[in-house]
Amino acid sequence: MKYIDQACVWLIFVAGVAHISTTELLHPPRAVLDTGLLWIFLAMFNLLRIRNGYGIHRLRTFCIGANAAVLALECVRWRMFGLSNLVVVVLVLCETLFSIRQKQSETSKLSPTLPPTGR
């Protein structure tokens, strides 16, 4: 599953770079650079999660939040502009599910010196 997770993240990253390149070179109508940048930042968050697991305090929360926000924005864009980004929507949905899913082995890797999450 880790390889599928990595493949989804890299495809989102490549889609972001391709979107920025196409927007700059072709200037298609209704295309703006913020969409590609959003995908690149989402991929960076998820690559950080894959690389470090859940050892970084609250990384899981940030990844779930970022994935859910991009998924909501892509659903709105899908409703406004049609099925042009269906592949990215499916990839972001997969990344959201990967971020939510946490194995027992990943929780055992957490450092006991982390600060408590309660207030």
- Give, for all 119 residues of the chain, the pLDDT tens digit: 889 999 999 999 999 999 999 999 998 887 788 989 999 999 999 999 999 887 788 888 999 999 999 999 988 888 887 777 788 889 999 999 999 886 644 544 555 455 556 65
pLDDT of residue 103: 60
Domain count, the chain: 1
pLDDT of residue 104: 43
Residue 37 lies in a domain: yes
Structure-token pair, residue 60: 């899981």
Residue 25 lies in a domain: yes
Residues 66, 22: Cα–Cα separation, whole Å: 24
pLDDT of residue 119: 52
pLDDT of residue 72: 92
pLDDT of residue 46: 93
Residue 90 lies in a domain: yes
- Which string of DSSP letters, residue by residue, matches 54-99? T-STTHHHHHHHHHHHHHHHHHHHHHHH-GGGHHHHHHHHHHHHHH
Structure-token pair, residue 38: 């959003």
Structure-token pair, residue 58: 């609250």
Residue 114 lies in a domain: no
Residue 118 lies in a domain: no
Expressed as residue numbers, the domain containing 36 is 2-102
What 8-state DSSP symbol labels residue 28?
-
Residues 50, 65: Cα–Cα separation, whole Å: 16
Supply the pTM of this predicted model: 0.80
Residue 111 lies in a domain: no
